[in-house]
Chain A
């Protein structure tokens, strides 16, 4: 069995999402696509942005392969973003990035991140932050590409 720190890193919600990935499988259409690679371990994600008629985010779809953190993070992101405006999405990305850079300290209010707040434990492990960021960076990229 692992230590409490390890259990905090791999919370059940993360393990669940890494196995049953939300938004997995690239859907037809979409306004932009981004491919991101983590060269140290070969994790990769291709992500597509799908917008509603009012320019809010309808959903993201993605595929890829990698460690449980990168997969769970992209899955949790898929749950979070439907219905957000572009600005709201950018705020969530900024907040998530701040959490990832917090070295275990977390952020004041992680409410806007929904279940993705469970990834806070990753910030203690500098080597894994890139894994958690992979899907979010792809998402950020599609927002820029489509604006």
Chain B
């Protein structure tokens, strides 16, 4: 195992090409201790990064180093460690902000993407209950107002909006997907209208890997004055992402899917909007003046960061971002696209296997969920696990999309920068043997 010094280029000596390729991916794999183990007597083939990614030494070390040398509560106290911790914490925010093309005061730390979406939904809710004064006018919802989501959403970008509709009396509507399970601008145009106040949708589907037409949809939403919330959980780790260029109003993603630890997530919000929103979680560290009757709140982002923060995780996320930047997001995306192409081509050759989503690799990222005729996803996953192949089975927190595609569960392989064509081939070989093992072929 080698640890890359990221002050150097991670390709150590090799000419930098515009994609990683297997050789470099294998070299990078040396940085990920969890990937070097046997499972059921086979070398682990990890194809579940869509659920959560593995972590490189630099990230693990960053968290440990911080806890060993600096650990202190941030934005509280004046001792040396507290000051150093606060500085690292804020530097981490700046690095993550730059990674997605926005300003640091527009980045709010959350525990994960799910919490970020709830934060926005509760800002609407609290504004609708009268909190936030006149500044929060844009966030007041009531009868006649519409919240729009899509049929492709992860439950995390659906359930909070259902609850918001119940609490405020607004109507929840959804953009239906097409027969391939894809969100189209046409379908969106039929649902987005004068009553639309907020539109929440995913950048990349965690089931089909399909990339949404963000530009067109954002333009439509803004034309009717609606606010746009983008679920970037499956894009931020895998594609170059410029949130300012995408012109969305809010976006969320989770650190654990992009080489960082669990417990840290990111909410991006336009600064003017964040500062007009009433808080979600309240308590210590988000206030200016507190009396026994009422309190005044800090501006964003601190307004939304109540309580003692997840400092080591935020700092480790910044190191994860540094690692991704050193490898190059464009090169990671190209590598995963190539793996995705091989995955799709290989699956097309296996009888009784249906790929969910568009069959054109150019329209998707490097993941694929499949339905195997006659064999339940749980059994497919068990068979793969027996061969050391870790894939995800179930509805992947997207029941409505599965229902629309006519299945209750599927088996998903999702790639990342440390995967190679050999990993994809191991998955394909496994899938090719499933039906005969279960007596279906």
Which residues of A pack against B, CB within 8 Å? Answer: 1-3, 5-6, 9-10, 15, 19, 40-43, 65-69, 125, 128, 131
Known contacts A2-B437, A68-B376; A128/B382 CB under 8 A: yes
A77 to chain B, nearest CB (A): 18
Inter-chain CA distance A82–B387, complex, in Å, is 39
Taken together as a complex, chains A and B put the C-alpha atoms of A65 and B395 apart, in Å, by 14
Q: How far is the CA of A43 from the CA of B409 in the complex (A)?
A: 9
Q: How far is the CB of B399 from chain A (nearest CB, A)?
A: 7
Question: How far, in angstroms, from A68 to B377 measured CA to CA in the complex?
Answer: 10
A68 vs B440: C-alpha distance in the bound complex, in angstroms?
Answer: 12
Contact B379–A68 (Cβ < 8 Å): yes
Residue of A nearest to B430 (CB): A2
Q: Which of A1, A5, A67 contacts B40 (CB 8 A)?
A: A5
Q: A6-B386, A68-B379, A125-B382 are in contact. Are A42 and B395 (CB under 8 A)?
A: yes
Cβ contacts under 8 Å, B438 to chain A: 10, 15, 68
Whether A41 lies near B378 (C-beta < 8 A) is yes
Number of A-B pairs whose CB atoms are under 8 Å? 54
Given the contacts A3-B41, A5-B40, A67-B378, A42 and B437 also touching, CB distance less than 8 Å:
no
Give chain B nearest CB distance to A127 CB in angstroms: 8
Contacts of A40 in B (CB 8 A): 394
Within the complex, the shortest CB–CB distance from A134 to chain B, in Å, comes to 12
Q: Which of B376, B386, B399, B433 has the most CB of A within 10 A?
A: B376
CB neighbours (8 Å) of A9 from chain B are: 382
20 A-B residue pairs with CB within 8 Å: A1-B433, A2-B383, A2-B387, A2-B437, A3-B41, A5-B386, A6-B382, A9-B382, A10-B438, A40-B394, A41-B376, A41-B378, A41-B393, A41-B394, A41-B409, A66-B376, A68-B375, A68-B379, A69-B379, A125-B382
A5 to B377: give the CA distance in the assembly, Å. 19
B13 is an interface residue with CB less than 8 A from chain A: no
Q: Say whether B408 faces chain A, with CB atoms less than 8 Å apart.
A: yes
Name the contact of A42 in the complex, choosing from B41, B409, B433, B439 (C-beta under 8 A): B409
| Bound Cα distance from A2 to B42, whole angstroms | 12
Residues B369-416 near A (CB distance < 8 A): 375-379, 382-383, 386-387, 393-395, 399, 402, 408-409
Taken together as a complex, chains A and B put the C-alpha atoms of A3 and B42 apart, in Å, by 11
Within the assembled complex, what's the spacing in Å between the Cα atoms of A131 and B395? Answer: 15
* Bound CA–CA A66/B376 (angstroms): 7
Q: Which residues of A contact B377 (CB under 8 A)?
A: 41, 67
Q: A5-B40, A15-B439, A41-B409 are in contact. List 11 more A-B contacts (CB 8 A).
A: A1-B437, A2-B383, A3-B40, A6-B383, A9-B382, A10-B379, A41-B394, A41-B408, A67-B376, A68-B376, A69-B378
